[in-house]
Amino acid sequence: MWYLYALAGVDDAHAIGPPPGIDDRPVKTLVAGDLVAFASEIDAAGFEAALRRADLSKDGELGRAVRAHDRVIWHVFAHSAVLPCRFGTVFATQEALAGWLRTEYRRFREALDLVRDAAEWDIEVQAACDVDGNEVLDVKGRQQASLVYETVRDTLAGLALRARDGFYLVRRDEESAFAGKVFELVEAFPGTQIRMTGPQPAYHFMDSGMISVAGGKHGR
């Protein structure tokens, strides 16, 4: 079984030496036109057993697999534009993976162009809370919180290539301006917590949908 971590452009692949993947299996580059898939051959029975046990602890099989998946994506992200794949994207054979890449080539090519020289930022807006994290707002307060959320969303969307449910795709050369605007919003709304995470791989964008390009088993 072949496990797919991410896609990138073939021109960038020569500079990327990916770290080991799941179960420390070597990650290989599979070329399809001017796209490169980062994938490794893994033990199907072992991986499916790890999914069933669902042990996400530090030493758990699934926890280690999730961290390996993320480690490969972040390594590629450090060197090039990357399309991160959803955890658990697997193919029965290498030929099945290659065929899927050929079928979906245009969609992935367009998505890679979208995220090139850009990164995702996660903005979380939280209204006034008590010490246990519970909202302490009356009706008027909830209305004010909604207004704050809309203001943050609309303001930051104007600085992003795309915006979706609190995630913003921002050009790398606009990141300072974007972060500066977030700090301005924090000062403008002192009763609201605004948390910013980024830059990170663009997990949540491809046109109007998810950039997690696949999920589940493909091919037989």
Q: What is the mean pLDDT of each run of 10 residues along the chain (220 residues)?
A: 95 86 96 93 95 94 96 96 94 94 91 94 78 51 79 96 95 97 94 92 67 46
Residue 44 carries which side chain, given as an amino acid letter?
Answer: A
Name the phi and psi angles at 210, rounded to 5.
Answer: -80, 145
- What pLDDT, on the 0 to 100 scale, is given for residue 142? 67
- What pLDDT, on the 0 to 100 scale, is given for residue 111? 92
Rounded to whole angstroms, how far apart are CA atoms 26 and 24?
6
Looking at residue 28, the DSSP 8-state letter turns out to be: E
Nearest to 21 by CA among 1, 150, 35: 1
Tokens describing residue 79:
């060197």
| Count of all residues that appear for the chain in the document | 220
- What pLDDT, on the 0 to 100 scale, is given for residue 146? 82
Residues 6+ apart with CB under 8 A from 168: 120, 121, 122, 123, 156, 157, 159, 160, 162, 178
Give, in order, the Cα–Cα distances in Å from 159 to each of 19, 89, 155, 180.
34, 32, 7, 11
